[in-house]
C-alpha cells in the first residue's frame, strides 16, 4: 500500500451521511435565506409576500425546533468524489454505506424524517419505510480524501425536471424560458432553476442536478458582470424567468428564482442536449469532506442571519375566518380568488394513494371508509409526530396529481372544498365549476409552521398507506389562499398575468426614464 493511501472507515461514511441528512432537514443554507430575505423585502404582491414570509418564519422555527422544513423530506441524492488515494475500510459497498446513513437519518427517534421512497415504481409502489435506496453518483478523482455533496430532493420539484435535444443553432434561453412558463408552480418557487447543456442525454441531466448545489451568488455575478457564455446565460435566464411574474407559489409576484445555475460539457456536433431541473424552496443540500479523521463535523449555521418575521407580520388585511364544521355551499361560493382564509375545525386528509383507492372503491360500487359529504379534504402526507406534537410537519402536496380523480370524488361524495398546492388543470377546474367546490392552497415549504395550526390528528382509514393514510385533522386558524373559485377563476392564472404586465410596464417606464 502506498504511503499516501488514506484509510477512511466505512462507518464514518455512514455516520456523516446520517448527520448531514438530519442537518439539512432543518437548516436551510444561509445563502438561500439571505436571498429570500431580500426577496421578501422587495416583494409587492401581497399573497406572494405572505408566502415568502411563511417560508422564512417556517425556516426559523424548523432550525430552532430541529424539525423538518418540509414534510417531503426528499429522495437522497449523493455526488461523491472519491480520491484515488483513499481506501474505504468496509465490507459493504459505497452505496450500502450511504444507504446505512440514510436509514439512520430517516429513522432517527428525535427527528424522524418522512420515508417517501416506494420500492417498485411500476407496480405495487410499496414504501421501503426507511427512505432507501439513495441515488448515488461516484467519481474517482485525484487526492486522498472523499468529498460528498448530499441533497434531499423534494418530489414536487423533481417532477418538473425536463429534457430536450435542441438543434445546435437553437436558443437554450428561449427553450428554458418557455419551459419554465409552462411548468406551473408545483416545484415550489421561489427557488432555483438549474440547467445542464451538452454531453449526452444523461450527462446533461447530471450537470443540472449537480450545479443546483453550488452557492447562490446572482447578486455578485450581476455586480461584476459575466466573464463567459455560461454566466451570461445565467443572468439572461434569471432576468427573463423573474419577468414571467410567476412569483412565490405561482401566486404572481416579483421573485420566482433567486438564482439560475448553468453547467456545460462538450457534446456531439449534431446535438445540443439541454436539461432543466428546478430546486424548491426547501433547497436541502450540504457538502462535506472525509479525510480519515472521523465523521464530518457539521457546525450549525449562525441563526442570527435568519430574519425575525413573526406571525404578526403575516396577517393580511381582510382575512376571512372560516368554521369548517357546518360549512355550506352558499358560504364557499362567496370566497374570492386571492383572498386569505384562516380555517378552523375538522378536515380530512388524502393524497395520491388514498385518492386512487377511493376511486377504485367507488368504481367497484363499494362504500368509502369515510363519509366525505360536506367535508374539506387536504392533500398532505405528514411527517410522523414526536414528543408533544400531534402531527409532524404537514405542508401541502401538488394538487394536479389529484386532478384525474377529482371529477369522480366531487360527483360521488359531496366534498365541499379541497386544499393543496399549486394550480389545477383544466379538467379539475371544469369539475370545480360543475360541482361548485372551490380549491384553496397552503404554502409549500411552510410545513412546520402549518403543523402548529393542527391541534388534533386521528387516523381514519387506509392505515397501511403510512403517510398517505386518511386522517382527520382539527385545525385552528390554518392559513390558506383561495385559488380557484366556483366560477373557475384561478389565482395561478390571474396572478402571474398581472405581475408580468406590471413588471413589463415598470421596465418600459425605466427605459424611457419615467
Ligand X SMILES: O=C(O)C[C@H](O)C(=O)O
Sketch the per residue contact string, 398 through 417, with ligand X: x for CB under 6 A, - otherwise: x-------------------
Segment interacting with ligand X, rule: CB under 6 A, options 48-56, 151-159, 301-309, 472-480: 151-159
Half-sphere exposure for 161 (CA within 13 Å, toward CB)? 18
Minimum CB separation of residue 392 from ligand X in Å reads 11
Segment interacting with ligand X, rule: CB under 6 A, options 56-64, 150-158, 313-321, 481-489: 150-158
C-alpha cell at position 90:
468496509
The smaller minimum CB distance to ligand X, of residues 399 and 490, is found at 399
Segment interacting with ligand X, rule: CB under 6 A, options 153-161, 366-374, 427-435, 481-489: 153-161
Give 256's contacts (C-beta < 8 A, 6+ positions apart): 180, 189, 190, 241, 242, 244, 245, 246, 247, 248
Sketch the per residue contact string, 272 through 301, with ligand X: x for CB under 6 A, - otherwise: ------------------------------
CA distance 328 to 313: 31
End-to-end CA distance of the chain: 72
User: Measuring CA to CA, how many Å separate 204 from each of 161, 277, 446?
Assistant: 12, 10, 31
Minimum CB separation of residue 395 from ligand X in Å reads 7
Segment interacting with ligand X, rule: CB under 6 A, options 18-26, 148-156, 247-255, 469-477: 148-156
The smaller minimum CB distance to ligand X, of residues 234 and 285, is found at 285
Contact between 397 and ligand X per CB under 6 A: yes
Sketch the per residue contact string, 427 through 456, with ligand X: x for CB under 6 A, - otherwise: -----------------x------------
> Out of 247, 381, 438, 496, which residue is the one contacting ligand X (CB under 6 A)?
381
Give 129's contacts (C-beta < 8 A, 6+ positions apart): 115, 466
CA distance 234 to 220: 12
CA distance 252 to 47: 8
Residues paired with residue 342 on neighbouring β-strands, in sequence order: 321, 479
C-alpha cell at position 228:
463567459
Considering only residues 183-242, where is the footprint of ligand X by CB under 6 A? 186
CA distance 218 to 236: 11
Cell 418564519 belongs to 57
> Out of 16, 50, 71, 283, which residue is the one contacting ligand X (CB under 6 A)?
71
Dihedral over Cα of 314, 319, 324, 329: its sign: negative
Minimum CB separation of residue 6 from ligand X in Å reads 38
Q: Look at residues 189, 56, 156, 54 and name the one whose alpha carbon lies nearest to residue 499.
A: 189
Q: Which residue is nearest to ligand X (CB)?
A: 156
Buried b (16+ CB within 10 A) or exposed e, 177-215: bebbbebbbbbbbbbbbbbbbbbeeebbbbbbbbbbbbe
> Out of 47, 53, 83, 154, which residue is the one contacting ligand X (CB under 6 A)?
154
DSSP letter (8 states) at residue 91: S
The smaller minimum CB distance to ligand X, of residues 152 and 417, is found at 152
The smaller minimum CB distance to ligand X, of residues 189 and 444, is found at 444
Catalytically annotated residues: 355
Minimum CB separation of residue 251 from ligand X in Å reads 16
Segment interacting with ligand X, rule: CB under 6 A, options 127-135, 152-160, 225-233, 250-258: 152-160
Minimum CB separation of residue 321 from ligand X in Å reads 27
> Out of 19, 72, 259, 389, which residue is the one contacting ligand X (CB under 6 A)?
72
Q: Look at residues 46, 110, 136 and name the one whose alpha carbon lies nearest to residue 495.
A: 46
Alpha helices, H only, 43-73: 46-65
CA distance 223 to 231: 12
C-alpha cell at position 313:
407580520
Minimum CB separation of residue 401 from ligand X in Å reads 7
Q: Look at residues 432, 430, 448 and name the one whose alpha carbon lies nearest to residue 380.
A: 448
The smaller minimum CB distance to ligand X, of residues 14 and 480, is found at 480
Sketch the per residue contact string, 329 through 368, with ligand X: x for CB under 6 A, - otherwise: ----------------------------------------
CA distance 420 to 440: 6
> Under DSSP, is residue 347 helix (H, G, I), strand (E, B) or coil?
strand
Minimum CB separation of residue 419 from ligand X in Å reads 13
The smaller minimum CB distance to ligand X, of residues 103 and 160, is found at 160
> Out of 68, 115, 156, 250, which residue is the one contacting ligand X (CB under 6 A)?
156
The dihedral region occupied by 345, where left means phi > 0, alpha psi between -120 and 50, and beta the remainder, is left
Segment interacting with ligand X, rule: CB under 6 A, options 52-60, 88-96, 149-157, 198-206: 149-157
CA distance 510 to 495: 22
Minimum CB separation of residue 297 from ligand X in Å reads 31
Minimum CB separation of residue 467 from ligand X in Å reads 8
The smaller minimum CB distance to ligand X, of residues 155 and 191, is found at 155
The smaller minimum CB distance to ligand X, of residues 6 and 114, is found at 114
The smaller minimum CB distance to ligand X, of residues 394 and 416, is found at 394
Strands 470-484 and 439-441: antiparallel
Minimum CB separation of residue 381 from ligand X in Å reads 5
The smaller minimum CB distance to ligand X, of residues 157 and 255, is found at 157
User: Which residues contact ligand X by CB under 6 A?
Assistant: 71-72, 154-156, 186, 381, 397-398, 444
Amino acid at each position: 500500500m502506498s504511503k499516501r493511501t488514506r484509510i477512511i472507515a466505512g462507518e464514518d461514511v455512514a455516520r456523516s451521511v446520517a448527520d448531514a441528512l438530519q442537518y439539512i432537514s432543518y437548516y436551510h443554507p444561509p445563502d438561500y435565506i439571505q436571498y429570500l430575505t431580500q426577496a421578501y423585502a422587495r416583494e409587492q404582491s401581497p399573497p406572494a409576500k405572505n408566502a415568502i414570509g411563511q417560508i422564512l418564519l417556517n425556516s426559523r422555527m424548523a432550525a430552532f425546533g430541529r424539525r423538518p422544513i418540509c414534510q417531503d423530506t426528499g429522495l437522497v441524492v449523493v455526488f461523491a468524489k472519491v480520491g484515488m488515494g483513499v481506501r474505504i475500510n468496509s465490507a459493504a459497498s459505497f452505496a450500502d454505506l450511504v444507504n446505512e446513513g440514510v436509514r439512520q437519518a430517516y429513522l432517527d427517534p428525535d427527528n424522524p424524517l418522512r420515508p417517501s421512497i416506494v420500492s417498485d415504481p411500476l407496480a405495487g409502489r410499496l414504501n421501503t419505510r426507511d427512505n432507501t435506496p439513495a441515488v448515488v453518483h461516484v467519481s474517482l478523482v485525484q487526492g486522498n480524501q472523499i468529498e460528498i455533496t448530499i441533497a434531499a430532493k423534494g418530489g414536487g420539484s423533481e417532477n418538473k425536471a425536463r429534457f430536450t435535444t435542441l438543434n445546435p443553432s437553437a436558443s437554450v434561453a428561449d427553450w428554458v424560458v418557455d419551459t419554465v412558463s409552462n411548468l406551473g408552480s408545483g416545484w415550489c418557487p421561489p427557488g432555483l432553476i438549474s440547467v445542464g447543456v451538452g454531453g449526452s442525454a444523461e450527462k446533461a441531466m447530471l450537470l443540472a442536478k449537480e450545479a443546483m448545489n453550488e452557492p447562490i451568488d446572482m447578486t455578485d455575478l450581476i455586480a461584476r458582470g459575466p466573464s463567459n457564455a455560461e454566466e451570461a446565460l445565467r443572468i439572461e435566464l434569471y432576468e427573463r424567468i423573474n419577468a414571467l411574474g410567476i412569483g412565490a407559489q405561482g401566486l404572481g409576484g416579483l421573485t420566482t428564482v433567486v438564482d439560475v445555475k448553468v453547467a456545460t460539457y462538450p457534446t456531439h456536433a449534431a446535438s445540443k442536449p439541454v436539461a432543466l431541473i428546478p430546486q424548491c424552496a426547501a433547497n436541502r443540500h450540504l457538502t462535506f469532506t472525509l479525510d480519515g479523521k472521523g465523521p464530518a463535523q457539521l457546525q450549525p449555521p449562525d441563526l442570527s442571519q435568519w430574519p425575525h418575521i413573526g406571525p404578526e407580520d403575516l396577517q393580511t388585511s381582510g382575512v376571512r375566518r372560516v368554521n369548517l364544521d357546518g360549512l355550506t355551499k352558499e358560504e364557499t361560493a362567496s370566497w374570492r380568488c386571492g383572498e386569505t382564509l384562516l380555517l378552523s375545525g375538522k378536515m380530512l386528509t388524502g393524497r395520491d394513494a388514498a385518492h386512487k383507492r377511493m376511486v377504485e372503491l367507488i368504481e367497484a360500487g363499494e362504500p368509502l371508509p369515510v363519509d366525505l359529504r360536506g367535508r374539506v379534504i387536504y392533500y398532505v402526507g405528514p411527517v410522523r409526530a414526536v414528543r408533544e406534537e400531534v402531527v409532524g410537519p404537514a405542508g401541502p402536496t401538488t394538487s394536479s396529481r389529484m386532478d384525474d380523480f377529482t371529477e369522480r370524488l366531487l360527483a360521488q361524495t359531496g366534498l365541499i372544498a379541497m386544499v393543496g398546492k399549486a394550480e389545477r388543470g383544466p379538467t379539475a377546474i371544469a369539475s370545480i365549476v360543475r360541482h361548485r367546490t372551490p380549491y384553496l392552497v397552503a404554502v409549500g415549504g411552510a410545513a412546520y409552521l402549518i403543523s402548529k395550526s393542527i391541534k388534533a390528528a386521528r387516523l381514519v382509514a387506509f392505515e397501511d398507506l403510512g403517510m398517505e393514510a386518511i386522517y382527520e385533522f382539527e385545525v385552528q386558524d390554518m392559513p390558506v389562499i383561495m385559488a380557484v373559485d366556483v366560477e373557475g377563476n384561478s389565482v395561478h392564472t390571474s396572478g402571474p398575468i398581472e405581475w408580468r404586465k406590471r413588471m413589463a410596464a415598470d421596465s418600459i417606464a425605466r427605459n424611457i426614464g419615467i
